[in-house]
């Protein structure tokens, strides 16, 4: 075989390995309209299912009459809880240890809850059928406020109260009230309270991190096809964790796991929304079994916003103590978490409030205590860590607001307050007061680089001048400088402490090298736009010396991919990326033996160089990986099996801790509340960078979702539990018109325990972005006595803040 690429530089370029901005291999099909999303799947005789949904947030169901619906031409079946009960499928387990109704069983607990499933020949017939299902409701008192829920006599979850009125323990221990789900604690309560009680300075603040929604552009959906001849169920869907879905389907349906094939095709964005298991999946499977035909279920946008996994809804109260020169001594955080009608949060089982216990942030805080109370209300269930790793967004928002509030209390510059409290480079690995061990970091370098890049001192001088001009009546625009420094905690995670439904959160990669020197690698993850097919091939190219263009990456088919826990919480690079590198190293180890045999030297006398093994000290003697691959299939090599394959199941020893420093410069029109982002600088340190182009794209996207959450996006309810933001008319998604250009920057602090030093980045910009945008708004009002206002900072709320501060006189 002729090796045309000769110079080492050309060989490296030809490889397109780690560090290069390789163009995405996914894009050909997407740019030509040839993606294969779940709604593009068509099967012979396929039916369509849709839900009758509750108009009430809390009501008893007296009766359901499906007769008229069944008369509609094209309607084949209408399923209710009564139909699912004999199968034991009218309720299903949630990822958080609770159980959830699949179809309303006697009552409904939130507006939009699934009451009946109409199966018809097409969407129009299903819609006609839905109109004719008659449900007789008896309205019950509605509770949308979690604090009221904890005081109320109204029992939301009668199934969780014993007949004698006592309250059995929940999945996470004792419950204080019939509407209470759990109390979760981390840290040391008494020492923290003592430190705060005796501190020189204490700042306190309460903040509400509003309910929002990941709202990927493609809604959730699935196609279920039960083949009664071979007994095999195939389920296509928008699943961020296909293997976990297969296990769940097997556990609740009784169909053996090897008879279930779950396929995630192309997915139109996930952001956490597509982690959980929804009633639509279960009903589609049942309907396919009942009708003997494939059944498709696709949410519409209103279904998506009203009923599938929301995010946040945390009421947080904090106390932070410090010496008078700004050294933080303690942190206390209490959260009242509104989980809606069922606790269906997608958090690792042992962490009912996710990784909220990274709320000490990037700071060396010696003493801390966190307490979270989960509460039931009449809202939709399914809380997810929207574009963050298990509640890290909430944690970072909390600490970054507390830092600002403390800076005001100390009358100190917030950038300086951060600097003097950062965990120092030499303190890593650093064990935080709330238990996690941060792997590596260099916060001071990142912070100094960021402040220098934006000319922080110049900005503050300009801002002071603007305040003078405002007071002198020369301008009606204030200027805010938003700062945030964050540490993410990603790569869930070590099997010893991270699992979902008892499944340890390892991940996997299986590699097959073909005789001609091309390869296929299959992983337990599934891309939702992150470019896995591009970047995982780059990791492998660097590890095994075959060009990335010769490597196919395949994910999302449980019949072919090795078991893995999927893609969410920025775990793909930290966990599956590590599995890829480790499987690649197994290939390389075998290749080394083959090369040594072919070169007639000892194994230790050859060394790997880009795309070949070279005899040490004799660079002209080598075998390329392509030659080695062929030899693995065509030569009998003593003591070595034919073929070149490897698999790795990687259980990470620790999480990874990417971090970043963000600065936002914002102008605010005091009279209209309109915000204008003049500048946004984002420095991210995600360890080793695999594809800088993709990293930059992830940062742009994450920041834009952060902008949406901070500046306008909210799932809002009225007192009757009606969702006020059920369409994109009311739920703010930014367009190109509202979004600024971002400046991206980086430092590189590799993870010491990750095989290639990579930490993951997809969610960092969201985690760091939300407090940065919010701090910019609040900083603009700081000179006028503002300490804290709640998000989302839409124009009306900003106008109201200006009004309350007396700026409209």
Partner 1 sequence: MSNKMHIKLNVNGKDEEFLAEPRELLIYTLRERLNITGPHIGCETSHCGACTMTIDGKSVKACTMFVAQASGKSVTTIEGLGGPDDLHPLQSAFKEHHGLQCGYCTPGMITRAAKLLEENPNPSEEEIRFGMAGNICRCTGYQNIVKSIQAAATEMNAAKEAAE
Q: Which is nearer to partner 1, 233 or 706 (CB)?
A: 706
Q: Catalytic: which of 222, 345, 388, 664?
A: 388
Q: Using the structure block, give the residue that is written with the tokens 């940065």.
A: 772
Least distance to partner 1 from the beta carbon of 493, Å? Answer: 25
387 is catalytic: yes
Q: Which is nearer to partner 1, 98 or 714 (CB)?
A: 714
- Distance, in Å, from the CA atom of 121 to the CA atom of 49, rounded to the nearest integer, reads 9
* Residue 341, phi-psi category: left (phi > 0), alpha (psi -120 to 50), beta (remainder): alpha
Least distance to partner 1 from the beta carbon of 529, Å? Answer: 3
3-state secondary structure of 134: strand
Written as six digits, the tokens of 75 are: 């309607």
- Distance, in Å, from the CA atom of 705 to the CA atom of 214, rounded to the nearest integer, reads 9
Could you tell me the CA-to-CA distances from 374 to 147, 312, 351, 355, 635 in Å, in that order? 11, 12, 12, 15, 63
Task: Yes or no: say if 594 and 602 are a contact pair by the CB < 8 Å rule.
Answer: no
Least distance to partner 1 from the beta carbon of 46, Å? Answer: 10
Q: Which is nearer to partner 1, 269 or 494 (CB)?
A: 269
- Distance, in Å, from the CA atom of 669 to the CA atom of 466, rounded to the nearest integer, reads 12
Q: How many residues does the chain have?
A: 809
Q: Catalytic: which of 175, 211, 387, 418?
A: 387
Beta strands per DSSP E along 695-769: 743-746
Task: Yes or no: say if 281 and 49 are a contact pair by the CB < 8 Å rule.
Answer: no
**Kind of pairing between the strands at 507-513 and 503-504:** unpaired
Q: Which is nearer to partner 1, 597 or 681 (CB)?
A: 681
Written as six digits, the tokens of 505 are: 């959160």
Q: Give the residue from 308, 363, 307, 354 showing the smallest Cα distance to 335.
A: 354
Q: Catalytic: which of 510, 543, 705, 763?
A: 763
240 is catalytic: yes
Task: Yes or no: say if 86 and 149 are a contact pair by the CB < 8 Å rule.
Answer: no
- Distance, in Å, from the CA atom of 233 to the CA atom of 493, rounded to the nearest integer, reads 30
**What sign results for the dihedral spanned by CA atoms 319, 323, 327, 330?**
negative
Could you tell me the CA-to-CA distances from 245 to 42, 235, 236, 271 in Å, in that order? 21, 9, 11, 17
3-state secondary structure of 105: coil
Q: Which residues bind partner 1 (CB under 8 A)?
A: 23-24, 26-35, 37, 39-40, 42, 73, 122-124, 215-219, 266-269, 271, 298, 300-302, 528-531, 693-694, 696-705, 727-729, 733-737, 739, 741-742
3-state secondary structure of 62: strand
Task: Yes or no: say if 65 and 57 are a contact pair by the CB < 8 Å rule.
Answer: no
Least distance to partner 1 from the beta carbon of 453, Å? Answer: 18
Could you tell me the CA-to-CA distances from 262 to 241, 249, 280, 284 in Å, in that order? 10, 9, 15, 13
Q: Which is nearer to partner 1, 269 or 366 (CB)?
A: 269
Q: Which is nearer to partner 1, 370 or 664 (CB)?
A: 664
Q: Which is nearer to partner 1, 278 or 742 (CB)?
A: 742
Task: Calculate the CA dihedral of residues 579, 584, 590, 592 and round it to 10 degrees.
Answer: -140
Least distance to partner 1 from the beta carbon of 743, Å? Answer: 10
Least distance to partner 1 from the beta carbon of 272, Å? Answer: 12
Cα end-to-end span (Å), the chain: 82
What are the φ/ψ torsions at residue 594 (nearest 5 degrees)? -65, -45
Could you tell me the CA-to-CA distances from 200 to 132, 330, 402, 423 in Å, in that order? 67, 11, 16, 21
The Cβ-side half-sphere exposure at 236, using a 13 Å CA radius, reads 18
Beta strands per DSSP E along 173-307: 180-187, 201-212, 221-227, 232-237, 260-263, 295-298
Least distance to partner 1 from the beta carbon of 217, Å? Answer: 5
- Distance, in Å, from the CA atom of 35 to the CA atom of 349, rounded to the nearest integer, reads 34
Catalytic residue positions?
240, 387-388, 763
């Amino acid at each position: 075989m002729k090796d045309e690429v000769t110079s080492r530089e050309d060989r490296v370029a030809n490889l397109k390995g780690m560090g290069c901005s390789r163009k995405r291999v996914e894009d050909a099909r997407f740019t030509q309209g040839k993606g294969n999303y779940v709604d593009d799947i068509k099967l012979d005789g396929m039916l369509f299912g849709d839900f009758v949904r509750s108009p009430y947030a809390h009501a008893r169901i007296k009766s359901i009459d499906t007769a008229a619906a069944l008369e509609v031409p094209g309607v084949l079946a209408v399923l209710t809880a009564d139909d699912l009960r004999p199968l034991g499928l009218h309720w299903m387990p949630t990822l958080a240890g609770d159980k959830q109704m699949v179809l309303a069983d006697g009552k409904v607990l939130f507006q939009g809850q699934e009451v009946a499933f109409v199966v018809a020949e097409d969407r129009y017939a299903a819609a006609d059928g839905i109109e004719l299902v008659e449900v007789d409701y008896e309205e019950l008192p509605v509770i949308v406020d979690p604090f009221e829920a904890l005081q109320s006599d109204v029992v939301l979850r009668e199934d969780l109260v014993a007949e004698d009125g006592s309250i059995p323990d929940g999945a996470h221990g004792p419950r204080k009230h019939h509407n209470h789900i759990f109390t979760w604690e981390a840290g040391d309560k008494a020492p923290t309270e003592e430190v705060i009680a005796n501190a020189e300075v204490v700042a306190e603040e309460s903040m509400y991190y509003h309910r929002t929604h990941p709202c990927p552009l493609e809604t959730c959906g699935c196609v279920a096809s039960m083949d009664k001849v071979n007994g095999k169920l195939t389920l296509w869907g928008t699943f961020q964790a296909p293997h976990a879905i297969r296990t769940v389907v097997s556990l609740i349906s009784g169909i053996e796991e090897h008879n279930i094939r779950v396929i995630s095709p192309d997915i139109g964005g996930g952001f956490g929304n597509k982690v959980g298991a929804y009633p639509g999946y279960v009903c589609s499977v049942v309907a396919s079994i009942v009708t003997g035909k494939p059944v498709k279920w696709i949410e519409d946008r209103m279904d998506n916003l009203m009923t599938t996994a929301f995010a946040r809804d945390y009421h947080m109260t904090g106390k932070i103590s410090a010496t008078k020169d700004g050294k933080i001594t303690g942190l206390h955080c209490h959260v009242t978490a509104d989980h809606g009608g069922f606790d269906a949060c997608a958090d690792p089982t042992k962490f009912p409030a996710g990784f909220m216990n990274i709320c000490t942030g990037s700071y060396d805080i010696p003493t801390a205590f966190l307490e979270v109370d989960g509460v039931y209300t009449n809202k939709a269930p399914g809380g997810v860590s929207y574009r963050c790793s298990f509640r890290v967004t909430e944690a970072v928002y909390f600490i970054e607001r507390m830092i600002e509030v403390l800076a005001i209390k100390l009358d100190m510059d917030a950038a300086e307050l951060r600097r003097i409290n950062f965990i120092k480079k030499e303190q890593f690995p650093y064990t935080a007061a709330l238990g996690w061990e941060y792997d590596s970091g260099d916060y001071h370098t990142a912070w100094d680089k960021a402040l220098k890049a934006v000319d922080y001192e110049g900005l503050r001088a300009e801002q002071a001048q603007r305040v003078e001009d405002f007071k002198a009546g020369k301008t009606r625009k204030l200027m805010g400088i938003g700062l945030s420094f964050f540490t993410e905690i990603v790569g869930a995670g070590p099997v010893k402490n991270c699992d979902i439904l008892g499944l340890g959160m390892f991940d996997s990669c299986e590699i097959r090298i073909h005789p001609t020197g091309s390869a296929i690698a299959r992983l337990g993850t599934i891309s939702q736009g992150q470019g896995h097919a591009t970047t995982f091939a780059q990791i492998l190219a660097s590890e095994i010396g075959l060009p990335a263009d010769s490597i196919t990456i395949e994910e999302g088919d449980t019949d072919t991919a090795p078991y893995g826990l999927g893609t969410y919480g920025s775990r793909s690079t930290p966990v599956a990326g590590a599995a890829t590198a480790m499987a690649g190293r197994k290939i390389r180890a075998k290749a080394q033996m083959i090369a040594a045999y072919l070169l007639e030297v000892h194994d230790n006398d050859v060394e790997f160089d880009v795309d070949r093994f070279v005899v040490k000290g004799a660079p002209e003697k080598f075998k390329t990986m392509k030659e080695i691959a062929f030899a693995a299939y065509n030569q009998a090599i003593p003591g070595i099996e034919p073929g070149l394959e490897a698999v790795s199941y990687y259980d990470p020893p620790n999480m990874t801790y990417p971090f970043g420093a963000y600065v936002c410069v914002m102008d605010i029109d005091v009279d209209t509340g309109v915000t204008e982002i003049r500048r946004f600088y984002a420095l991210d340190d995600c360890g080793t960078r695999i594809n800088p182009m993709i990293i930059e794209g992830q940062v742009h996207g994450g920041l834009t979702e952060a902008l949406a959450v901070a500046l306008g996006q909210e799932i809002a309810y009225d007192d009757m539990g009606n969702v006020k933001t059920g369409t994109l008319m009311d739920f703010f998604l930014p367009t190109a018109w509202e979004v600024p250009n971002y400046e991206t920057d980086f430092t590189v602090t590799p993870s010491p325990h990750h095989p290639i030093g990579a930490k993951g980045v997809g969610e960092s910009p969201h985690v760091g972005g939300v407090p940065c945008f919010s701090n910019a708004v609040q900083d603009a009002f700081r000179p006028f006595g503002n300490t804290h206002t709640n998000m989302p900072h839409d124009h009306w709320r900003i106008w109201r803040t200006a009004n309350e501060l007396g700026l409209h006189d």
